[in-house]
Amino acid sequence: MYGEEVGAMAVEIVEFKSWSGSVAEVFDAADLSGVLKASGKDTVLIKPNWVSDQPPPVTTHVELVAAIVEYLRRKAPSAEVVVAEGTGMKDYDTAHVFKVLGALEMAEGAGVELVDLNESGPLVHMAKPECRRWPEMWLPKIVMDSFVLSVPVLKAHSLSDVTLTMKNMMGAAPPKHFDAGSWRKSAFHADIHEAIFDLNLYRTPDFTLLDAVEGMAEAHLWGPECDPPPNKLAASADPVAIDAWGCEVLGFDWRSIGHVRMADGVLGKVEA
């Protein structure tokens, strides 16, 4: 295990060797158990990037999610663990994504519940008049009440430049409030950086494990993988620091990425 830093970044990074071993190594280094205990929350909501049914590295490895569940069973046995996502695709629903990516089989074997955030339970309505893009927000109650462990993939993005942990929260947005076009949550596409920042003002991840084993170099659903592959897992309780690290790995200056720049000093700090 070693630290890669932009400034003095609060991010732990390990070389990937195996899902189970590397997850345990990076979580121990980043003190996930301590962060979870301090939160006082009884439910851990694992939020992968399963926005589509495409295989990794477009989406989070199911084996990685399984390794996280295994770790939590050992280190936080009293916590309820759920795995949750809400697809943005209009051609199919989240249940289809769970089935195609192998999440159904994984969940059955691990004894965890899969939650479709597009359809789940009651919504919480919130208002922040200072938010220009989203002065009102609706999010699933389970997202607001749980410890959110975000598990994004290292990817460039055709609209937001990068899609890392802060953008991963878009999967929690209920389509009935944000469907404005060909994508179930396409209202986010207008002023996308401010839209991502405002969303995270309402709910940002409590902890992140960034899958930087392979990575997408130019876009989020197509194009080449990172060459050479980074072959790393990174973890942090600071969503801004870990997104800035991901930007640098992808070859971006984090200051040029609007939502990361806006979040620095507000939702976290790039440099500790």
pLDDT tens by residue, 72-89: 999 999 999 999 999 999
Alpha carbon distance 44, 37 (integer Å): 11
pLDDT band for position 271 (cuts 50, 70, 90)? confident
* pLDDT surpasses 70 at 41: yes
Residue ranges of domains in the chain: 12-263
pLDDT band at 219; cut points 50, 70, 90 = confident
95-152 confidence digits (pLDDT tens): 999 999 999 999 999 999 999 999 988 999 999 999 999 999 999 999 999 999 999 9
CATH code of the domain occupying 12-263? 3.40.50.11440
- Confirm if 51 and 169 have CB atoms less than 8 A apart: no
% of residues, the chain, pLDDT over 90 = 88
